[in-house]
Amino acid sequence: MRSHGVICFAILLAAFFFSGPIDGREIRGQVATGDFEWNAQNFAGFYYDLDKDLGTERITTYVTYGKLEEPNGIVYSTTAQANDFEFEDWGSYNVIGFLGKKYFAGYTENENMDGWTQMLYQESTDENSLSEEQLQTILMDSDAEMTITASRPLKLAEGYELAIKYIDSSGMLVELTKDGMAVDSKILMPSKDGATMADKTYIYRTDEDNQKGLVIIAIHFKNAVTIQNQTVATVDGLWQISDTPTPVRIDTEFGKMRIASVSADTIVLDNKDYNIALSKNRDIELLGNIRIRTADQEMMDDANPLRYYIYLDEKCNS
Amino acid sequence: MRSHGVICFAILLAAFFFSGPIDGREIRGQVATGDFEWNAQNFAGFYYDLDKDLGTERITTYVTYGKLEEPNGIVYSTTAQANDFEFEDWGSYNVIGFLGKKYFAGYTENENMDGWTQMLYQESTDENSLSEEQLQTILMDSDAEMTITASRPLKLAEGYELAIKYIDSSGMLVELTKDGMAVDSKILMPSKDGATMADKTYIYRTDEDNQKGLVIIAIHFKNAVTIQNQTVATVDGLWQISDTPTPVRIDTEFGKMRIASVSADTIVLDNKDYNIALSKNRDIELLGNIRIRTADQEMMDDANPLRYYIYLDEKCNS
């Protein structure tokens, strides 16, 4: 019976895995013959934000006698774009798509706004992550209102929590912990008359390798009051990026491509040292989960050049 | 130790399931403003065969004052294309993409070939499925060589099996079963001198509703011999379509669209009875797993028209 049970479970598991749709595993870009350029519009594997029309990732091919010759027969590039925080008074930051995923690339000055409200930019020492050859994952970006109390702290990502320690007419003491250990504390005065952005915003800065004094957590308090011995604070702005950077250093390899240059706003990869032959019926590892597939076509001549596309090898949940 | 093993396995399983990327669930098409047409090149959700450059699915939108007005503000169309069997001597059939999936649409005559080898077309009474307002899933299409023996029958899909019952100098008796029940038997003579296509090909026909005498199984034998009392037959051509058709009858609804017309080679759907408003920040059920997403954009005026795209809501394995 026991072995029957195991076999039955294995069969059920197999049925579960193989009955689902499998076509969608491969997200293909537009079909090319010869030189081509894919972007977020003809390749759904690249990062694109419909609401704000953001996303500049590009892969360009230059075919020479059936080959993508090293060092730049194939080039990937991506450029940071300014994006507003959900809590708009803080101004803006640079967002960048990198290998199909969205990252934070640095705080930027929004010249259409007062400087003093742009605290994340103002308070950061090395505010441009790309200049330090790194990026950060964006963990929280919200302007939804929520309340916290002395007994119910604000849970953040990566083990951080912000707790109210005490509150009186002169201000509110908050304490930041990571995995239960205190790492910072500050006094804010969100409800005083004429409270400024600085009075209302909790900021936590840290060093990430060579990038010094980077704001990784910002929390805006709309107010903080004590009602019948119960302290209640209303948060209406929230921002957190990872305290562990994603390095994008020159010469790092991702499959057959490597980072050729990193500027203050742009990352470029090329295929230095890797010639890529575009011959028929090939499935070629290219860059992260992005691959090249060439057609197994019967006719191949000047009138019927080789068809090929890039595709994202989507892992789904299996 | 045993329970630790189980817990460890559970954790590994969880890590396996949740570490995969989930962004890819939404396979978006190219972004549009105003009238637009998506096809297999700018929307990876449609059927496309790179090797043979097949796939004609299209969605066309006509925006009238911010609306896709019924009955044809949005139109889906798809047209069958001739495709060779993997076992090429049999000729060709019509393949069609329908809602992103590949289907059989009928057997066709290949005028560049001898008629008598095109047995699937010749032997079918109602050879055009689309003319009967239905399609079939293609289950097997192969020219790989494999051997079967009297004790090891050929396993097909949907519960079918082909077994060799006996063989002698005058021929070979084969029997087709479905779920263990005999449904057909025939004598073939694949190894006689000057054997024709008919001598070498097992054909099984059935009625699928109004579509009479449709070949749903074809098996080509390269040879059949008896060696030391053991009968061995070599199969080098295999074809099977489903015995249960996929109906595509006029007026059938798929989400907000319905089949408007079905001809011998083309299916057209429109949005009769459903006006679709393209206003901001909407996620609209459209057609099967294909949906429309509109941007939650701040500026919307003549210079900044509403952005929208169609996307495939990919189920993956969860």
Give φ, ψ of B24 to 5 degrees. -70, 0
Last residue in a domain, options A244, A279, A302: A244
Last residue in a domain, options A222, A244, A266: A244
Distance between A201 CA and the closest CA of chain B, angstroms: 25
Of A41, A50, A317, the CB nearest to B317: A317
Chain A residues closer than 8 Å to B17 by CB: 317
Task: Specify whether A71 is located in the same domain as A126.
Answer: yes
Please check the confidence at residue A229 and state whether its pLDDT lies above 90.
no
Task: Specify whether A166 is located in the same domain as A180.
Answer: yes
- Give the H/E segment covering residue B90: none
User: Which of A266, A265, A267 is closest to A288 using CA atoms?
Assistant: A267
A-chain residue closest to B49, CA distance: A295
Q: What is the pLDDT of residues A87-107, one digit of tens each?
A: 999 999 999 999 999 999 999
CA–CA distance, A156 with A140 (Å, rounded to integer): 8
Domain membership flag for residue A13: no
Distance between B143 CA and the closest CA of chain A, angstroms: 15
| Banded model confidence at residue B316, pLDDT cuts 50, 70, 90 | low
Task: Specify whether B141 is located in the same domain as B238.
Answer: yes
Domain membership flag for residue B9: no
| Banded model confidence at residue B314, pLDDT cuts 50, 70, 90 | confident
Written as one letter, the residue type at A211 is: Q
Last residue in a domain, options B244, B269, B297: B244
A-chain residue closest to B280, CA distance: A51
Cα dihedral B23/B24/B27/B28 (nearest 10)? 30
Distance between B41 CA and the closest CA of chain A, angstroms: 5
| Banded model confidence at residue B115, pLDDT cuts 50, 70, 90 | confident
B-chain residue closest to A289, CA distance: B21
**Token representation of residue B8:** 């460890």
Q: Look at chain A and report how many structural domains it folds into.
A: 2
Average pLDDT for residues A231-259, to the nearest whole number?
96
Task: Specify whether A222 is located in the same domain as A170.
Answer: yes
Question: Do residues B244 and B208 lie in contact, with contact meaning Cβ atoms separated by under 8 Å?
Answer: yes
Chain A residues closer than 8 Å to B23 by CB: 100-101
Chain B residues closer than 8 Å to A29 by CB: 44
Kindly determine whether residue B101 and residue A317, on different chains, have CB atoms separated by under 8 Å. Answer: no
Please check the confidence at residue B22 and state whether its pLDDT lies above 50.
no
| Banded model confidence at residue A168, pLDDT cuts 50, 70, 90 | confident
In this structure, what CATH number is given to the domain that contains residue A211?
2.60.98.40
Q: Look at A249-258, B62-71, B97-106, B111-120 and tell me which has the smallest mean pLDDT.
A: B111-120
Kindly determine whether residue A53 and residue B296, on different chains, have CB atoms separated by under 8 Å. Answer: no
Task: Specify whether B296 is located in the same domain as B316.
Answer: yes
Please check the confidence at residue A162 and state whether its pLDDT lies above 90.
yes
Q: What is the pLDDT of residues A179-222, one digit of tens each?
A: 999 999 999 999 888 999 999 999 999 999 999 999 999 999 99
Chain A residues closer than 8 Å to B50 by CB: 28, 31, 293-296, 307-309
Of A21, A50, A52, the CB nearest to B293: A50
Beta bridge partners of A39: A58
Domain membership flag for residue A186: yes
| Interface A-B: count of C-beta contacts within 8 A | 100
Question: Do residues A190 and A200 lie in contact, with contact meaning Cβ atoms separated by under 8 Å?
Answer: yes
Q: What is the pLDDT of residues B265-277, one digit of tens each?
A: 999 999 999 999 9
Please check the confidence at residue A53 and state whether its pLDDT lies above 50.
yes
Q: What is the pLDDT of residues B74-106, one digit of tens each?
A: 999 999 999 999 999 999 999 999 999 999 999
Please check the confidence at residue A6 and state whether its pLDDT lies above 60.
no
Provide residues of A within 8 Å CB-CB of chain B: 16-17, 20-21, 23-24, 27-31, 41-42, 44-45, 48, 50-53, 100-101, 281, 289, 293-297, 307-309, 312, 314-318
Q: In this predicted complex, what is the ipTM?
A: 0.83
Task: Specify whether B240 is located in the same domain as B259.
Answer: no
CA–CA distance, B256 with B249 (Å, rounded to integer): 16
In this structure, what CATH number is given to the domain that contains residue A282?
2.60.40.4190
Domain membership flag for residue A10: no
Task: Specify whether B230 is located in the same domain as B157.
Answer: yes
Of B42, B51, B314, the CB nearest to A297: B51
Q: What is the pLDDT of residues B280-296, one digit of tens each?
A: 999 999 998 999 999 99
Domain membership flag for residue B131: no
Distance between A315 CA and the closest CA of chain B, angstroms: 6
| Banded model confidence at residue A25, pLDDT cuts 50, 70, 90 | confident
Please check the confidence at residue B19 and state whether its pLDDT lies above 50.
no
Q: What is the pLDDT of residue B171?
A: 86
Task: Specify whether B40 is located in the same domain as B110.
Answer: yes
Domain membership flag for residue A144: yes
CA–CA distance, A61 with A306 (Å, rounded to integer): 14
Domain that holds residue A45: 22-136+246-318
Domain membership flag for residue B52: yes
For the range B211-215, what are the long-range contacts, defined as Cβ-Cβ under 8 Å and sequence gap of 24 or more? B211/B126, B211/B129, B211/B132, B211/B134, B211/B245, B212/B125, B212/B126, B213/B123, B213/B124, B213/B125, B213/B126, B214/B124, B214/B125, B214/B126, B214/B127, B214/B129, B214/B136, B214/B241, B215/B107, B215/B119, B215/B120, B215/B123, B215/B124
